C-alpha cells in the first residue's frame, strides 16, 4: 500500500535479533550480548554528576547548541588531549551516540551508489546504515591483527572497484573480532587514505578497555606522522562502553569543513542531543569519575575475559580456535568441527547463547565463526557456560 524507499531490513542483523527471545529464559547463560555490564555502572558517580547538572536546571532543560553543550565539548577536548589526539572545539560535534556520528557522516559524504569499504566481519548496524544510505559496500578481510592493509592496497590498485568515498574501521578491540590493528598497518592505512583520497572512519568505543599489552595510538594520534592524513580522518568517540550507553553521548572529530556539515545535518535530524545527559556527562568527566571508575570496569572485564579464554583452553581442547584479545568486550572463535549455526541449536538446548559469526558478514559468510561477549555473565556463569558449550559441541558434531 505504501511505497517505501530503499532497502531497510538488513538480513545480516537478524541472527542477533532472533536470539533476543531466548535471553529472558530462566537459567540461560548468554555470551550473545553486545552491551556493557550493567552491574559495573558507576551509579553513585552518575547520581553525583546529576546533582551537579541540576545546579543549572535551565541549561539542562532548554534546547542546546546543535554541536554540543560547551561544558561537555571542553571536557571531550581535554579527554582527547589525554588520549594523545588533540582536537579543537570546531572539529568536534557531540552526537546522540557514535551510531549517530556514523549516520550524520554518511548523510554528508555518501551518495547512493558511492563505494564504501568496511572490515569483514563487521558490526551489523554499520552495514545496515550503509544499506540505508544505498552505498555500494565493499568488504576488506580482517585477521587477528585487524584489517589486512596489503589486501586493501591490492584491492585499491586493482581497478576492480570504484574509488571509495569512505573506509570504516574499529582498529582497537574490534566488534566482533576483538582484533587490534598493528602500528605498521595503522601507518599503512593512513598512507593509503592519502594516496587514494578516501576518508577513514576510526570508530573507537573500546580502546580504553585494555587489559594487557601496550596501548597502540589511535589513527588520529598517528596522523601527525603521515602528512595530510589528518584531512582524511574522522574519529568517533563514545561514552557508552566506559560510562553508560543510556546517556547517549558520543562524538565526532572531523576536519572542520566536515564537522560543520555534520552539524547542519544534525539540525534537521534531532536539533540537538539531550543537554541534560550532556550536562551529566560533563559533570562526571569534570569530577574525575571516569579516571577513578574505569579501572574497576577494566579489572572486571580482564577477569571475565581470562576466565572465558582459560576455560575454553581447558575444556574445549582446541575445538574452538580463538585469539585472546588484549581488551574490549569480545572473543571471536572459529568452530573447527563445523557450522556455528548448527552448534547454536544445541547450545540453546543446553541454555547457553552466543552469536553465530554469519551475523557479521555482509557477504560470503564464514559459518564456522562465532562471537562471544564476556561482559555480562559472572565468572561462575562463564565457567558453567563453557561447560555447556562443550556439551553442545559433543551433541552437534559427534
Chain residues in the site for a second copy (CB under 8 A): 1-6, 8-9, 13, 35-36, 38-39, 41, 43, 46-47, 50, 54, 57-58, 60-64, 95-97, 99-100, 103, 107-111, 125, 128-129, 132, 165, 199, 231, 240, 244-248, 255, 257-258, 261, 264-265, 267-277
Closest separation in Å from C-beta 387 to a second copy: 27
**CA-CA distance, 234 to 252, in Å (whole number)?**
7
Neighbours of 264 (CB within 10 A): 15
Q: What is the dihedral angle through the alpha carbons of 145, 147, 148, 154, rounded to the nearest 10 degrees?
A: -170
Closest distance to a second copy from the beta carbon of 56 (Å): 11
CB of 207 to a second copy, least distance (A): 20
Instruction: Work out how close the CB of 154 gets to a second copy at its nearest, in angstroms, rounded to a whole number.
Output: 25
Q: How far is CA 336 from CA 122, 219, 372, 384, in A?
A: 21, 34, 16, 21
Task: Please answer whether residues 123 and 130 qualify as being in contact, where contact means their C-beta atoms are separated by less than 8 angstroms.
Answer: no
Cell numbers linked to 103: 549516520
**Residue 368 or residue 373: which is nearer to a second copy going by CB?**
373
CB of 317 to a second copy, least distance (A): 36
Q: Which is nearer to a second copy, 22 or 41 (CB)?
A: 41
Closest CB to a second copy among 260 and 324? 260
For residue 1, the Cα-to-chain-centroid distance in whole angstroms is 37
Residue 50 or residue 387: which is nearer to a second copy going by CB? Answer: 50
What's the min distance (Å) between Cβ of 214 and a second copy?
31
Amino acid at each position: 500500500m505504501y511505497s517505501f524507499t530503499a532497502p531497510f531490513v538488513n538480513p545480516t542483523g537478524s541472527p542477533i535479533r532472533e536470539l533476543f527471545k531466548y535471553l529472558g529464559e530462566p537459567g540461560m547463560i548468554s555470551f550473545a550480548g553486545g552491551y556493557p555490564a550493567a552491574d559495573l555502572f558507576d551509579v553513585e558517580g552518575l547520581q553525583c554528576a546529576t546533582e551537579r547538572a541540576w545546579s543549572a536546571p535551565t541549561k539542562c532543560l532548554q534546547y542546546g547548541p546543535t554541536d554540543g553543550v560547551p561544558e561537555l565539548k571542553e571536557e571531550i577536548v581535554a579527554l582527547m588531549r589525554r588520549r594523545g589526539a588533540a582536537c579543537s572545539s570546531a572539529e568536534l560535534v557531540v552526537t546522540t551516540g557514535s551510531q549517530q556520528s556514523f549516520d550524520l557522516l554518511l548523510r554528508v559524504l555518501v551518495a547512493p551508489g558511492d563505494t564504501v569499504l568496511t572490515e569483514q566481519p563487521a558490526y551489523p548496524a554499520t552495514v545496515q546504515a550503509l544499506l540505508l544510505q544505498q552505498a555500494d559496500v565493499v568488504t576488506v578481510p580482517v585477521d587477528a591483527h585487524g584489517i589486512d592493509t596489503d589486501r586493501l592496497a591490492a584491492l585499491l590498485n586493482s581497478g576492480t572497484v570504484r574509488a571509495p568515498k569512505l573506509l570504516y574501521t574499529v582498529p582497537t578491540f574490534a566488534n566482533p573480532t576483538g582484533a587490534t590493528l598493528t602500528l605498521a598497518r595503522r601507518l599503512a592505512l593512513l598512507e593509503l587514505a592519502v594516496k587514494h583520497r578516501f576518508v577513514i572512519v576510526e570508530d573507537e568505543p573500546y580502546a580504553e578497555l585494555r587489559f594487557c599489552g601496550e596501548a597502540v595510538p589511535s589513527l588520529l594520534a598517528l596522523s601527525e606522522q603521515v602528512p595530510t592524513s589528518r584531512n582524511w580522518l574522522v574519529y568517533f568517540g563514545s561514552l557508552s562502553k566506559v560510562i553508560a550507553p543510556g546517556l547517549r553521548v558520543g562524538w565526532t572529530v572531523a576536519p572542520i569543513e566536515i564537522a560543520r556539515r555534520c552539524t547542519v545535518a544534525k539540525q534537521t535530524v534531532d536539533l540537538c542531543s539531550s543537554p541534560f545527559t550532556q550536562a551529566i556527562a560533563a559533570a562526571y568527566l569534570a569530577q574525575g569519575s571516569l579516571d577513578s571508575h574505569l579501572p574497576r570496569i577494566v579489572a572486571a572485564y580482564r577477569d571475565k575475559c581470562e576466565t572465558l579464554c582459560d576455560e575454553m583452553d581447558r575444556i574445549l581442547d582446541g575445538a574452538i580456535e580463538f585469539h585472546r584479545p588484549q581488551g574490549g568486550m569480545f572473543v571471536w572463535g572459529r568452530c573447527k568441527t563445523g557450522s556455528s549455526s548448527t552448534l547454536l541449536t544445541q547450545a540453546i538446548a543446553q541454555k547457553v547463547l552466543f552469536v553465530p559469526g554469519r551475523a557479521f558478514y555482509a557477504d560470503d559468510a564464514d559459518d564456522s565463526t562465532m562471537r562471544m561477549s564476556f561482559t555480562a555473565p559472572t565468572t561462575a556463569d562463564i565457567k558453567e557456560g563453557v561447560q555447556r558449550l562443550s556439551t553442545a559441541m559433543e551433541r552437534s558434531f559427534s
